[in-house]
Amino acid sequence: MVEWLVGRLGTRHVVVAGDFNADPDADSVAFWCGRRSLEGTSLCYRDAWESARPGEAGHTFTPTNPLVAENKRALDRGRRIDYVFVRCDDSLHGPTLDVRAYTLAFDEPVGGVWASDHFGIVAGLSVPDVCF
C-alpha cells in the first residue's frame, strides 16, 4: 500500500515506523530492508537504527523492563522489535532522508513508573544536501 501511494504521488520522503514484532534478521524485516523479495516484489528502506548505531543491539523489548517480566513469558534475552525505516530512492542510491541520530526513549522509569513494555525509539532525520 505504501509503495502504491508513492507511485501515485511521485517521489516522496517516506518513513515507516512501529512495532514489527520481529527480530532484525526476520524475513519481514529483511523484506523492508531490500534483503528479501516477496512474490516478485521488493522494497528498499533503510533501518534507521542500523544506520545510526551499527553493531549495537538496541533492544526495545527486554526482560530488564519489569513490565515484560510481569506480563509476558520471560525472555532469555532482549530483542529489537520496533523500527524506523526510511525509504530509499534509486536516483539517490540510498535513503531520501539522512539518519542523523537514533536513540531509545522511555527506557527508564519515571517516578517508579515504566511507560510501556516496549522502549520507545526516536530518530533524528534530515533532508540531505542533494535530494531529488
Distance CA 46, CA 33 (A): 6
Q: HSE-up of 28 (CA within 13 Å, CB side)?
A: 8
How many domains, in total, are found in the chain? Answer: 1
Q: Could you tell me the pTM of the whole model?
A: 0.85
Nearest to 99 by CA among 118, 123, 79: 123
Is 23:47 a contact under the CB 8 Å cutoff? Answer: no
- Whether 130 maps to a domain, the answer reads no
Could you tell me the CATH number of the domain that includes residue 48? 3.60.10.10
- Whether 131 maps to a domain, the answer reads no
Per-residue pLDDT of 47-80, as tens digits, reads: 999 999 999 999 999 888 888 876 566 556 789 9
Nearest to 117 by CA among 75, 63, 80: 63
- Whether 132 maps to a domain, the answer reads no
Per-residue pLDDT of 30-52, as tens digits, reads: 999 999 998 988 889 999 999 99
- Whether 74 maps to a domain, the answer reads yes
Domain housing 69:
2-125
- Whether 104 maps to a domain, the answer reads yes
H helix intervals, the chain: 2-9, 27-32, 48-52, 66-71
